[in-house]
Structure 1
Amino acid sequence: MPWFSPEEWVAIRLSLKVAVAASLASLPLGIALGWLLARLRFPGKALLDALVHLPLVLPPVVMGYALLVTLGTQGAVGAFLKEHFGIVFAFRWTGAALACAVMGFPLMVRAIRLSLEAADRRLEQAAATLGAGPWRVFFTITLPLAWPGIVAGAVLAFAKALGEFGATITFVSNIPGETQTLSSAIYGLMQVPGGEAGIWRLAMVAVAISLGALLLSEWLVRRHQRGREA
Structure 2
Amino acid sequence: MTRSVFDWLVMRYFPKRRCIDQVLQCRTFSAIPNEADAMASRIQSLQSAYEMSLPANQPYIVRLDGVAFRNYTAGLLKPFDARLTHAMLLTTRDLLAKCSARTAFCQSDEISLVFAGEPMTKNIVYAGRVQKIVSVMAGWAAARFNLHISEMDWEQAEAEAEVGTAVKARVASSSAVFDARVFSAPTDMMAADGIIIVDIYDFSNLLETCL
Structure with greater helix share of residues: 1
Q: Which of the two has higher C-alpha Rg? A: 2
